[in-house]
Amino acid sequence: MITIFCAAGAVLLIGCTNLAGISLARAGARQRELAVRTALGATRGQLTRLLLAESFIVALIGGSLGLFLEVWGQGALLRLVPTDLPRIENFSIDWQVFAFAGLVTLIASLVCGLIPAWLLSRSDLRDALVAIVLALVLLANAGLLFRSFARLNSEQPGFAASDLLTVRLSLPQTTYTDRAALIQYYEKLQPRLLALPGIQNVGLVSLLPLAPKSQSTIPFTRPDRPPAKREDTPSANYRIVNPDYFRAMGIPLLSGRYFTEEDNGDRPPLAIVSAVLAAKYFPDRSPIGQRLMIDDTDAEPRVVEIIGVVGAVKQSNLETPAKADIYLPLRQVPKDGVPWMRYSTYWIVKTSAAAPGLDHLVRAEIRKVDADVAVGAIRPMTEVMMAALASRRFSLLLVGSFAAAALFLAAAGLYAVISYGIQQRTREIGVRLALGATHRSILGMILREGALLLGTGLVAGIAVALMMAKLVANQMYGVSARDPFSFVVVSVLLATISLLACWIAARRALKVDPVIALRSD
């Protein structure tokens, strides 16, 4: 949020400096008018009040339009906001927001109105330099965020998300009171789902990977290597699954075996662990047949035997490396886990690519087995993954929008400065044309001056962005905060747009009539 606030402040500063530059160019074009007013007795204070009044009217219209767009676009913005953003349900625009926006508009109008009054006699290139520097900083941040998001979007979660449907079920408390009742319901539902056209497999898990609030961990130890201190006890993600869960999700079996229907409460407790846990806690031997002490009940910790090792899965987010996972079979769910499994379980439905529109059929089958079961939204797994990236996408959208505005404003500011310089040199340009200078040479002269100003701004902007790299380093994933590719791309983009603005301004100089220019004051 600090990054977004700074980006908004930078765009405001660019807007103020560019508006001042445009006002200065406009005032330069009115020098004759202002000179006549002065000759007729107008004081400097009266001229200042005139420019302030004009700037205030422009700012009032622009501020009102901005507030209107905010009110109008509030609904669209809320649709883009991640659902896990704190207190998003209380988001609204109240009088304090309007008052703050009005105050900022008033201050901006005063500043942008006073600068032309103070600097009417000279062109100040610092406005354009500030705009270019800030625009490059914002564009660099947007470029880094985009590269980071692209890397994150291509990150492998450890399972095959394509052609998967997910549905969350919540069972009635009065009906499903023990493990036997839970298993009986699942055994009725699973074959009915498998019988639907286009369904290849059906898995079940206590907590879906990448789902909101997908944190459920338990402490564990190796019985032969207890930790020296209690606080050193490691923890692992804890999941209860049915035998077909790993196949439905496409989680590979690396060694050992999957759970089967025979792994029930009559057998000693079993577990499957992830490759991360196996590599870290059994580096000297195969984990198959080894035991873990897990603390997943209100009673004393219990021992489970490892029968398989599966691939690592990113359970909570895509940004951090996969952690240790412990999976237990559904048929051996402990008594303490029954309320948890009753309250919420996720079914994973593996479909064929040519089987659209299955969500209605799945929901109907669930209702047929037990109409009292609460059925959540049926969503593709790819949508769950997109939701996991919602915060990143929202930040990228906001910073990218600010960067686009900064790019436009920087180009407008450079255009205003070049235009003002041309107005100040109208007589010089007229003399050059009268003495035989070609349009091409005049155009080249103005473009060189604009390129020099742009180059200075780019160098300063890159230096500032590199100094601020540490502030955005924690938001990067797979990309350095000093990524040269991002800096080169945004520099070329800013240079191209800005030089185009210089060229448009320079073309105006070619329309100067030498005779009129020589007569100008």
Q: Are 182 and 206 in contact (CB under 8 A)?
A: no
Q: What percent of the chain has pLDDT over 90?
A: 22
Cβ atoms within 10 A of the Cβ of 97, count?
12
| Digit-coded pLDDT (tens) for 266-294 | 889 999 999 999 999 999 889 999 999 99
Determine the 3-state secondary structure of 302 from DSSP. strand
Is the separation of the CB atoms in 285 and 241 below 8 Å? no
CA–CA distances in Å: residue 519 to residues 272, 424, 428, 513: 91, 14, 11, 10
Q: Count each helix (H run) and each strand (E run) in the chain, helices first.
A: 17, 11
Contacts of 324 (CB under 8 A, 6+ apart): 234, 235, 236, 237, 273, 274, 276, 277, 280, 281
pLDDT at 343: 87
* pLDDT over 70 at 478, yes or no: yes
Q: What phi, psi does 277 have (nearest 5°)?
A: -65, -40
Greatest CA separation for the chain: 106
The pLDDT score that the predictor gives to residue 253 is 95
pLDDT tens digit string along 100-114? Answer: 777 777 776 666 656
Strand partners, 181: none
Using one digit for the tens of pLDDT, what is the confidence trace for 46-70?
A: 777 777 777 777 777 777 777 777 6
Q: What is the pLDDT of residues 188-208, one digit of tens each?
A: 999 999 999 889 999 999 999
pLDDT of residue 520: 55
- Tell me the percentage of the chain whose pLDDT exceeds 70: 77
When pLDDT is cut at 50, 70 and 90, the band that residue 20 belongs to is low
Cα-to-chain-centroid distance, residue 42: 54
- Quick one: pLDDT at residue 123? 45
Question: What pLDDT is attached to residue 73?
Answer: 63
User: How many Å apart are CA 337 and CA 212, to the nearest integer?
Assistant: 20
Integer Cα distance of 476 and 148 in angstroms: 6
The C-alpha R_g of the chain, in whole angstroms, comes to: 33
Q: State CA 271 to chain mean position distance.
A: 37
Mean per-residue pLDDT for 462-482? 78
pLDDT at 121: 42
Boundaries of every domain in the chain: 2-156+389-519, 172-372
Interval 509-519 mean pLDDT: 60
What is the distance, to the nearest Å, from the Cα of residue 377 to the centroid of all Cα atoms in its chain?
24
| 347 bridge partner residues | 167, 204
Answer whether 368's CB lies under 8 Å from 329's CB. Answer: no
Whether residue 491 contacts residue 456, with contact meaning beta carbons closer than 8 Å, is answered with no
Tell me, rounded to whole angstroms, the distance of Cα 323 from its chain centroid.
24
Question: Is the distance from CB of 333 to CB of 371 less than 8 angstroms?
Answer: no
User: Token pair of 433, please?
Assistant: 């044309």
Please tell me what DSSP assigns to residue 88. Answer: G
- With contact defined as beta carbons under 8 Å apart, do 249 and 347 qualify? no
Backbone angles phi, psi at 499, to 5 degrees: -65, -30
pTM: 0.72
CA dihedral 235, 237, 241, 245 (to 10 degrees): -140
pLDDT for the residue 512: 61
Residue written as tokens 């898990």? 205
How far CA 54 is from CA of 134, 239, 412, 508, in Å, comes to 27, 67, 20, 25
pLDDT at 32: 65
Structural contact between residues 82 and 395, judged by C-beta atoms closer than 8 angstroms: no
Q: What is the mean pLDDT of the chain?
A: 80
Whole-number Å distance between alpha carbons of 341 and 428: 84
Question: What's the distance, Cα to Cα, between the start and end of the chain in Å?
Answer: 52
Residues 414 and 462: beta-carbon distance below 8 Å: no
Q: Which 8-state DSSP code applies to residue 183?
A: H
Give the amino acid at 300: E
**Lookup: tokens for 195:** 């019988």
Q: How far, rounded to the nearest angstrom, does the alpha carbon of residue 178 sit from its chain's CA centroid?
A: 43
| DSSP labels, 21-42 | HHHHHHHHHTHHHHHHHHHTT-
Count Cα neighbours of 383 within 13 Å in the Cβ-side half-sphere: 9
Contacts of 434 (CB under 8 A, 6+ apart): 514, 518
The more confidently predicted of residues 456 and 430 is: 456
* Pairing relationship of beta strands 302-310 and 270-274 according to DSSP bridges: parallel
In the chain, the amino acid numbered 265 is G
Q: Which long-range contacts (CB under 8 A, 24 or more apart) does 463-469 make?
A: 464/133, 464/136, 464/137, 465/136, 465/137, 465/140, 465/141, 468/137
